């Protein structure tokens, strides 16, 4: 790859770095934030899901905005909005304030990653796409690598508020690099913004995730939970019918007719739900269940990111020699086994053993996700790329948001079954939750096993 072909993936992946850094730091700092704001730790999953849900809600507009105003301009604006939301989160005094500012942060994040991926797809020739996609994932892996350790260090040395304020200099750097090295290319757009479709889809996503997020934890009356879930389901069904009658619908479900893309978006959902659940459960188990400090927890959790980053060196050769289908099946199966295996950890388990297991879990998780993300766009026509990235990114963030809400609900349920409560979690409450997450991962195999043995052969050859 030329220097420019390598530099562009790194620049547009800066938002992925910011998001992964933010999420992994946040998970490590949850117990400290809960003590500071005087709320239950599990209730703070709202601070994570509100951000992720904001991402999912505003993601559908990212493709239209990039085509209308230019990808580079929207990209830089999104980073600035994300940085502003981060600054406000660092100043929050109550949980409702933190949730509101996380929503603002998510509005910026909603445009950062899909527009960055769109810039990558338009700027890099197909023959270099596999290598570019590997470079695109490096900053995100570094964010996951730095997040747990940095979060534990920050919480130990100073206030949790600095975990948000640290995003600001990285945001400024991302904007400066994008303005210097990325051309402001965009496609002419003549269609109006689909406001009706946006409202239907947003209502559906907020209702479904809101219903799951409040289920069984006493945040709101059960009637409100069922009302949210019912409204969400009805809105999603209404949008599905609406999109079939309108060619300019903000999200086009018809894109799922492309097999590789459908496999990445729909088939990857169980895997991504598990990926959302595990980083939420792990720091809580280490700190609340095992009694470790934030720094000790971060030092162990960082192993998953080390494994994720290490796989990049062999990714291209693995795809060429093994193939997309075999890689996806193998990596997903092993990821599920490792997630379930995390539930076997005990307070007496040697830390070195925990670190090694988490490292290999992160390695196989990353192997599957990079393979899936690379294959997903292999059969997508270029004129549809902007809409395809919006739908794919929305599905990814929605899956991870569901994963966090699902994990919190699992913990509340297991604590209740053990005769305890969500306010007083113990080490044994985490084992069943991890077992369910591991089993959920295997559901993606139903889709991956249906891929042709030579799926993505053109990308492998290149």
Q: Tell me phi and psi for residue 369, to 5 degrees.
A: -70, -40
User: Among residues 174, 34, 157, 5, which one has the least CA distance to residue 95?
Assistant: 34
What Å distances lie between residue 304 and 144, 168, 318, CA to CA?
Answer: 8, 25, 20
User: What's the pLDDT tens digit per position in 388-424?
Assistant: 877 887 888 788 888 888 888 888 888 888 887 777 8
User: Among residues 119, 127, 132, 136, which one has the least CA distance to residue 187?
Assistant: 119
pTM of the model: 0.80
Kindly state the percentage of the chain with pLDDT values over 90. Answer: 18
Among the residue ranges 214-223, 276-285, 335-344, the one predicted with the least confidence is 214-223
Apex CA 325: angle with CA 323 and CA 327, to 5°?
65
Q: Is the pLDDT of residue 425 over 60?
A: yes
User: What's the pLDDT tens digit per position in 59-97?
Assistant: 778 777 877 787 788 888 888 899 899 999 989 999 889
User: Among residues 399, 151, 415, which one has the least CA distance to residue 278?
Assistant: 399
User: What's the pLDDT tens digit per position in 96-136?
Assistant: 899 999 999 988 888 877 777 777 766 666 666 666 666 66
Asked if 250 contacts 60 with a C-beta cutoff of 8 angstroms, the reply is yes
* DSSP secondary structure string for all residues of 292-330: --HHHHHHHHHHHHHHHHHGGGGHHHHHHHH-HHHHHHH
Query: What's the whole-number mean pLDDT along residues 307-318?
Result: 72
Instruction: State the pLDDT confidence band at 1, using cuts at 50, 70 and 90.
Output: very low
Query: What's the whole-number mean pLDDT along residues 298-316?
Result: 79
Among the residue ranges 66-70, 223-227, 409-413, 444-448, the one predicted with the least confidence is 66-70
Instruction: State the pLDDT confidence band at 27, using cuts at 50, 70 and 90.
Output: confident
């Amino acid at each position: 790859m030329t220097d420019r072909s390598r530099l562009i993936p790194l620049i547009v992946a800066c938002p992925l770095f910011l998001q992964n850094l933010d999420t992994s730091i946040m998970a490590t700092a949850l117990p400290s934030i809960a003590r500071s704001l005087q709320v239950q730790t599990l209730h703070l999953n709202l601070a994570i899901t509100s951000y992720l849900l904001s991402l999912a809600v505003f993601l559908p507009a990212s493709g239209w905005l990039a085509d209308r105003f230019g990808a580079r301009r929207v990209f830089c604006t999104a980073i600035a909005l994300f940085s502003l939301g981060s600054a406000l989160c660092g100043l929050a005094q109550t949980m409702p304030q933190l949730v509101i500012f996380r929503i603002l942060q998510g509005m910026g994040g909603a445009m950062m990653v899909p527009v960055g991926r769109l810039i990558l797809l338009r700027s890099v020739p197909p023959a270099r796409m596999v290598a570019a996609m590997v470079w695109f994932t490096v900053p995100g892996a570094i964010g996951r690598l730095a997040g747990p350790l940095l979060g534990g260090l920050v919480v130990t040395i100073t206030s949790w508020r600095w975990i948000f304020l640290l995003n600001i200099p990285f945001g400024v750097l991302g904007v400066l690099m994008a303005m210097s090295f990325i051309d402001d290319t965009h496609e002419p757009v003549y269609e109006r913004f689909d406001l009706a479709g946006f409202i239907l889809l947003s209502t559906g996503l907020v209702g479904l995730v809101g219903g799951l997020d409040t289920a069984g934890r006493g945040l709101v009356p059960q009637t409100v939970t069922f009302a949210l879930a019912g409204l969400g389901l009805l809105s999603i069904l209404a949008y599905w019918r609406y999109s079939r009658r309108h060619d300019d619908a903000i999200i086009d479900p018809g894109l799922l007719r492309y097999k590789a893309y459908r496999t990445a978006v729909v088939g990857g959902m169980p895997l991504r739900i598990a990926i959302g659940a595990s980083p939420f459960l792990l720091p809580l188990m280490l700190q609340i269940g095992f009694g470790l400090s934030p720094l000790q927890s971060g030092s162990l959790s960082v192993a998953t990111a080390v494994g994720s980053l290490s796989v990049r060196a062999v990714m291209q050769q693995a795809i060429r020699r093994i193939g997309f289908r075999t890689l996806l099946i193998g990596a997903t199966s092993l990821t599920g086994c490792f997630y379930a295996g995390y539930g076997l950890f005990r307070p007496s388990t040697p830390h070195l053993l925990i670190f090694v297991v988490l490292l290999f879990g992160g390695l196989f998780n990353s192997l599957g996700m990079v393979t899936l993300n690379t294959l997903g766009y292999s059969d997508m026509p270029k004129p549809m790329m902007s809409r395809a990235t919006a739908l794919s990114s929305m599905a990814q963030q929605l899956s991870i948001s569901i994963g966090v809400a699902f994990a919190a609900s699992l913990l509340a349920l297991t604590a209740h079954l053990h005769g305890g409560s969500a306010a007083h979690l113990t080490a044994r409450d985490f084992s069943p939750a991890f077992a369910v997450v591991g089993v959920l991962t295997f559901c993606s195999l139903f889709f991956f096993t249906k891929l042709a043995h030579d799926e993505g052969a053109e990308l492998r050859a290149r």
